Structures are given as structure tokens and as C-alpha cells.
Structure 1
């Protein structure tokens, strides 16, 4: 390796034109000019530097190794700051939620609690759990919401078809998902351990159906929940595109299957950012959204059916806790569906698409770059 002093002397001996060339060559290359499509994605006064925002969003669509980004919507201070779609997708496209639906289901439960039809710290109305001597009778609604029921639910397995989630959604549990999920035994004391579980959210959806109707007829159950969602949540928020799915028994597939446009997912994020208020109307109690976004006793990175950007489990950060902000929370769906909400920045960012396990971490860093453009308060 050449000594620094020798290198400086050698450079000083160069003719002026060559010295200038050497100095220029040490500068990083200028970025490629932004395309018209990239610039058109950003609205006037987006709350962040326009070209930087356009470039960060463009990276989500153009960079290799991130998977396929199909839609990005950025809302700032209640206004549309940026919006872009991949070819074949647009503002009217309905995108599947996957596990983003969990946060919607939790909000529906919050409405039922506010109505006085459910209580957080009591055993929910599940007949098989209320039989004498059944230890599952100790499980509370709060514990279900915070993913600490103690039930034997395995979200992922090896091989995959042995996981509780896959069995419930696609195999022996698919016709009556709630019965499958509720029939599992305890593997831990209720409340003691955090275990993320789509089966748990289906139980929450079944609880909602049970308090909305006494009927066991699938069509009646389906209509009762769909009408409640539309009347109390989707309608008041103007989420006109929403299509929830139900199983054969009439139970909402509340942990996985709701469909809506990117704009409607952004609208729901904004509703949560405003703590349950939409255009001056308090749709769900403020304290319920605070409950959903407060760390549970057994998981600092999870609230009630909602992910938090803090205290990730070792070796697995579902968001970007090392980059903050700590107040950021999120709805996260399988294969890279995200609604990121940063209240201190008046910001909601939606990214929808398809990214595999290896592609999601670098894609999340790109989303963190978007968030970083907006200053905190």
C-alpha cells in the first residue's frame, strides 16, 4: 500500500489538467435523471423535497432485489403527497390485505367493546371454552388481541402444511376456521407468552359474529358482520372498495382476507393516525387506538393486532426499529403489504406488492428512506 504522503506528492506533480481530472473522478457519479413517470407520482407541496421523494419512490419500483412493488401511496398531514402504480394496477385495483386485515378486525372488536357488547378482561362468548373444567375459560379478550392466548397455534411450520395457519386456511380447517382454531388445546398459561397467530384473529372474528347474531346460519352470520363493518367502519371512513371474505361457516377470515384499493388502505392508516377520528367524527374511541398501539406485556414490538417500530425480537425486526421513529406503527401483510403510520410526522405510507423473505428487509429500508424525508415534531 502506498504511503499517503507519497500519494499526495505524486498528485501534486501531475499537470493541472490531469490533477483536475483526478479530483473529478473521486466524486460519486451523478444519479440518473428522474423519469416523467417518477416525477408525476409526487403531488405539489408533498411535505418533503419533491425530487428526493420521487427518487425514493422510484427506487421501490425500479431497484433489483426488492420484489415487485405494485402500489405506493403517501399521505402527509391528511393530503395525498404521492401515488404511483406498476403497469396493470391503478387507483381502482383492489389489493389483498393478508395480515393487514388483523388490524381491521381489532378495530371492529373495539367498536363492540365501545357498544358494551364485549369486555376486555372477561372470557369471550365461546361455548366450548365455557364448559366446566375447560382451562381455556381463563383466556380473556385482551389476551387474544395481544396474541398471548396460550393456545397451540403454530403460524409457520416445516413442512408448511403442518402449520396451524395453513391447515386452517387451506386444509382440514378451511370450511369452519373458527372451530378449528378454538378447538386447539393450551400449550402455555394464558397471558404468559406472545405467539403471533392468524388463527387467533379468526377467533376474534367469530366472537364478533356471536355477539352480532345468535344464528348459526352461515348466511346470517356473514351478513351480520358484513353489515356491521359497512355501517360502523367502512361506510363512515368512505372505504367504498372494501370486500371482506368469509369461510363456509360464515366466519370472517379476519386475519388474512380483505380486499381494498391502495387509497382505502391509506385512508384506514390515516384514521388510525388520527386516533380513531375521521373528518371530525370519532368513529372508534381514541383510547381504543391507543390500546392497539401500546406494547403488550409480552412483546414490545406488538400491541393489539398492530405492529410497533420498537424492541424487536433478537434477529428479527419486522420494521426498522434501529432507524425509528419509535412512535411508528404498522399493518403488515404476507409477501410485503405495509401500511406505515408515523403520527409524529403526520405521515401514512402504503406499499403493496410481492416480496419474498429475502427481499423484504432491503425493501423495508427503502420504505424507511421515505419516512426519513419527513421531519418529526
Structure 2
């Protein structure tokens, strides 16, 4: 299925509300200019399997395309895009005064008088700077905390596995990207919502909270959470939603608002999520930023080719919700491209969409 939206395309209930940039104030984006870029994401050599691409400008759907076998009604896996959603949920509890960014993280296993993990704060976890000995990717691939937690010995209680790891650095001193860290954040959310240890009760409380505070106001009914056997949401990796609902979540982060203009993400929490963290200039609160000063040899996004305010939900194998508030653009790409090919095959092609807006 392919659609390059016409001038009369629907707005997907994504009214801007004027929170960040009004559609008529955004830079002009030509459908004719982005059409070959979208086409190339499906047909160019080396792009792997692109399954869906959506482009929204000022909340208006201006391009939408699906590969054969995929459609607007299908859910797509998040992989690590889930991390940004988890951070949104943490923000509600911080705004409510239930959690504190700079208080010791509420993890009972770390409360021992001589346990150096007592110094880990919620801010450290959100910035991927806990200092915990978590290995996201290893050689061989099964020898990593992420794969043990998701697929082998740690699957029944992923957060218990994640919190059991010792420190390898002082909290706040080292950036280390880690899906296990985000699972800890998911457990913190559930612990704040219920005293129950029953897995079903914990999962239900988490889902209700997400529905009330985010999914309902954002009008994203397709969003589906996966939980482990202990009732902890697998918040670093496993959320499913249609491509349009991924776009809607991007729009919530672009404006802070839902389609009815209601504030969803507070300005203060949105600013926290989109502010460079001390140990990695291209990472904020569980969100990738289009900034210089990253810890890797190659930037994760494309600083200099699009505004520094651009940010992204990123996921394994090329899942992206990229958002440029200055340009009023939200771009979704979902598919399956080997990570070693992503920069040339996908990321730099997505950069061209933002370059068309000047």
C-alpha cells in the first residue's frame, strides 16, 4: 500500500494547538520533494526492509506508505523506541511529586548500608548513567545482559536481574546505553502505582495509569504493552503500536499536547527529556538528540543537517520516530535493517526529509 498524501489529506486528529509551532508558521515542506526520498526508503539498494514511513507536517499527514503485507491497521514493534515512552510515564510521577529526580532510586535491593548503589538516582537511570554493570551488546550476542534478561535466564523477573548487577563505575560518571536500565524504570513506575506483588495486578495498574495519563489523551488506542512474568512492563524494548499511533506519540512530544490541545507532557518534563545529559551530549532523558558531543565516534543522528532541537525515539533494526519542533515535522520509519547498515541506509536518508524544510 502506498500513499503520498494530497493537499486534502486528513490531520489524524493531531491538531497543533500552537504549543510549539503553528502549521502555518512552519517551514514549507513540498510533497514533491519528499516523494522520492520516501520511495527510496523502500526501493534503494541496501535499505533492508522498510515496512512503513509516515511524514507529518504541522500535524498534517503529508506522506504515508507501507510495504506489501503491512498496513495502517497493523501494530509494529518498538524495540528501543519504548524507552522514550517509559520516560514519559516516569515524568507524570515526577510531576505528581511521587518520584524525585535526585533522590536515591526507590530500589529496596540497593538500600543496604554499605551498598554503593544507594547513590543511584532516578536522574542517573534516565540518563543511562547509573554505573551498573550492564552490557547491551556483546560478542557472542547471547552473552549480554540484554539478551539474558529478554530471552534466557532473566526472563521471569527482568527487573530483578537488572537491579542485581553490581556497579562498574560511580553513579553519574559514565554513560552506558542499557535496556536493563529502562526495565528498572518500569519497575519503579509499577511500584509507585501498587503495593501488590501479584503480576496481574501490577500489569493492570501500569496499563491503567498509561491509559489515563498518556494513551487516552493522545488517542493512541493501538498501543500494546508487553509484561514479564512478574508484571513488569518490558519498558526498554517491547511496546507495539500502529505507525499512525507512533506518529501520534511523536506529536505529543513535539507539542506537549494531545489532539484536543490538552497538555499531556508538562513543559518542565519535556525540557528535561530533551536536554543533553552530562555524560552524553546527544542523549537526554531516554531520548536521542540531534546534538554534537556524543560518546560515539559517529553521531547517532545528523547534527548540522537539521535543527539541534530535533530528537528521536530510536529502536533496534531501524525503528524511528524523529521529531523536529522548529520545522513542525514528525517522521516515522519502521522496518528491519541490520544495525551496521542503518546510518548510510536509513538515518542519512531520513535526514534529507528534514533538509527539504530548510
TM superposition score normalised by structure 1: 0.87
Corresponding residue for 2:19? none
1:45 is displaced (CA, Å) by 7.2
- 1:272 and 1:289 in contact (8 A); partners too: yes
Counterpart among 333, 348, 351 of residue 365 in structure 1: 348
Corresponding residue for 2:145? 164
Corresponding residue for 2:221? 240
Corresponding residue for 1:95? 76
2:232 corresponds to 1:269: no
Computing the radius of gyration from Cα coordinates, the structure with the larger value is: 1
Corresponding residue for 1:141? 122
Q: Write 1 or 2 for the structure with the bigger share of helix.
A: 1
1:314 is displaced (CA, Å) by 4.2
- 1:152 and 1:186 in contact (8 A); partners too: yes
1:276 is displaced (CA, Å) by 4.7
Cα distance in 2, alignment partners of residues 277 and 174 from structure 1: 35
Aligned residue pairs, count = 338
Corresponding residue for 2:13? none
Unaligned residue ranges in structure 2 (runs of 5+) = 10-27
Pair 1:269–1:185, CA change in 2 (3 A): same
Unaligned residue ranges in structure 1 (runs of 5+) = 1-36
Corresponding residue for 1:251? 232
1:277 is displaced (CA, Å) by 5.2
- 2:31 and 2:62 in contact (8 A); partners too: no
SS of the residue aligned with 1:302?
coil
Tell me which moved more, 250-259 or 126-135.
126-135
Pair 1:45–1:300, CA change in 2 (3 A): farther
SS of the residue aligned with 2:308?
coil
Corresponding residue for 2:310? 328
Query: Comparing both chains, which one has the higher relative contact order based on Cα–Cα distances under 8 Å and sequence gaps of 6 or more?
Result: 2
Q: How does 1:345-364 map to 2 (within 5 A)?
A: 345-362=327-344, 363-364=346-347
- 1:275 and 1:290 in contact (8 A); partners too: no
Corresponding residue for 2:7? 44
1:236 is displaced (CA, Å) by 0.8
Counterpart among 301, 316, 319 of residue 319 in structure 1: 301
Counterpart among 87, 90, 105 of residue 86 in structure 2: 105
Q: How does 1:219-230 map to 2 (within 5 A)?
A: 219-230=200-211
- 1:277 and 1:286 in contact (8 A); partners too: no
- 1:146 and 1:302 in contact (8 A); partners too: yes
SS of the residue aligned with 1:202?
helix
Cα distance in 1, alignment partners of residues 189 and 298 from structure 2: 32
SS of the residue aligned with 2:29?
coil
Tell me which moved more, 167-176 or 352-361.
352-361
- CA-to-aligned-CA distance 1:220-242 (integer Å, 9 cap, x gap): 11111011111111011100100
- 2:218 and 2:258 in contact (8 A); partners too: no
1:246 is displaced (CA, Å) by 0.1
Cα distance in 1, alignment partners of residues 286 and 89 from structure 2: 11
2:39 corresponds to 1:76: no
1:218 is displaced (CA, Å) by 0.6
Cα distance in 2, alignment partners of residues 222 and 357 from structure 1: 31
Cα distance in 2, alignment partners of residues 154 and 330 from structure 1: 22
- CA-to-aligned-CA distance 1:14-56 (integer Å, 9 cap, x gap): xxxxxxxxxxxxxxxxxxxxxxx76x42331784222221111
SS of the residue aligned with 1:161?
coil
TM superposition score normalised by structure 2: 0.92
- 1:42 and 1:54 in contact (8 A); partners too: no
